[in-house]
Amino acid sequence: MTADLGTLVGQALGAAVRAPSPHNTQPWRFEIARDRVDVLLDPARVLAVADPDGREARLACGAAALNLVLSLRAGGRKVSTTVLPDPNRTDLLVSVRITGPAEPDATELDLAAHIARRHTNRRPFTERGVPARARQHLVAAAAEEGAKLHLVDDWARYDAIAGLVRTADRVQSTDERFTAETRHWTGRAPGAPEGVPAAAAGPPASLEPALTLRHYAGEAQLPEREYEQQPLIAAVLTPTDSPAQQIRAGFAVQRVLLTATRLGLSASFLSQPLEVASTREALRRLFRDDGEPHALLRIGYGFATPHASRRPVSEVTG
C-alpha cells in the first residue's frame, strides 16, 4: 500500500467508525490488506440481551462499511464490495476492495462530507413536517442500496407501530437483565470513547409523546421537555432477513441517515419493537406485503445536540 493510499485508508477508517451502533457499542473491527479493507463483527461487543442474534450489530457494521466506501470514493478511488465473502468466516461481513482511481461522484462527495456531522438525536424535534421533496430523497437513498424506505403515512399503521414501541418498551423496562445492560452502556462521562454520554440522552418528556423513546442513564439530570407528537416514522425494509440482508440494510440505513443530515434533518432509532420477540413478529406482520423490517427511524427537524465519541482507529484495526 502506497503512502498516499495508506493515508486515504486511514481517513476512511476514521469515517467508518463514525457509524451508529446500538448504545454506541461499536461492534466492528477492520483488517487491512494491500488493496482491501475487511469489516468484521466483534462478537464481544454484541449486546447479549437486546441483540442476542447480532442483527443490530451486523446492521451497524454495514453502516460502517458504507462510510468506508463513501470516504474512499470521495478520495478518488474506485471500490467494490462483497458481503459475506468467506462462508468459513462468519465474522467477516464485508470486503471493500480498492480497484483503481475514479472521479468522485458529486452526490457521494456530499454525503462523505456529512459523515462527521451525522449523529443520533434523541431530543425533541419541532412540529415541522418533512416536505415531499426531502421524503423523495430519503426514499431514493435507500433504493440506491437495494432497500426500501417505507414512510408511514397510513394512520392505522402509524398507531400500530406506536403501540408496538410502547409495548416493547414496557417489556424491556421490567427486564432486569436488559435494564442492567442499558445502564452499563449509557450515562457515560463526556468524551467517553464508547457508550452513550449522559449529555447525549433525551430529556424526560413533560407530556407523554406519541412515540415512546428509549430511556438512558443520565436523562434524569436534564429538565423535562415536550416532545413532538407525530414525527415521521420510516421503516427500512429488504426482501428477507438473512445475515447478508441485515448487512445490506445497514448500508441503506446509513445512506438514509447521511441524506437526512444533508437535508438538515435529524433522526433517531426506534429499536425497542425489533428487540422483543413478540413485537418484532407483530411488526413483521404489519409489513408483510412490503418486506422485512430491519430498522425504524424517527425523522424530523431538531436542534444541535452533543455527539457521542468513538474509539480511535488504532483500537479497531489489526
Per-residue pLDDT of 36-82, as tens digits, reads: 999 999 999 999 999 999 999 999 999 999 999 999 999 999 999 99
317 within some domain: no
Give 16's Cβ-side CA count (13 Å radius): 31
Rg (CA), the chain: 19
* 91/30 same-domain check: yes
* 172/62 same-domain check: no
* 44/188 same-domain check: no
79 within some domain: yes
Mean predicted lDDT score pLDDT of the chain: 94
* 109/145 same-domain check: no
Which structural domain range is residue 152 located in? 132-300
The CATH number that applies at residue 54 is: 3.40.109.10
* 88/172 same-domain check: no
> What are the pLDDT digits (tens) for 274-292?
999 999 999 999 999 999 9
* 77/186 same-domain check: no
* 290/155 same-domain check: yes
Give the torsion sign (CA, 173, 179, 181, 187).
positive
Domain count, the chain: 2
243 within some domain: yes
* 60/176 same-domain check: no
* 156/99 same-domain check: no
307 within some domain: no
> What are the φ and ψ backbone dihedral angles of 235, each rounded to 5 degrees?
-110, 130
Cell numbers standing for residue 113: 462530507
Side chain identity at 52, as an amino acid letter? P
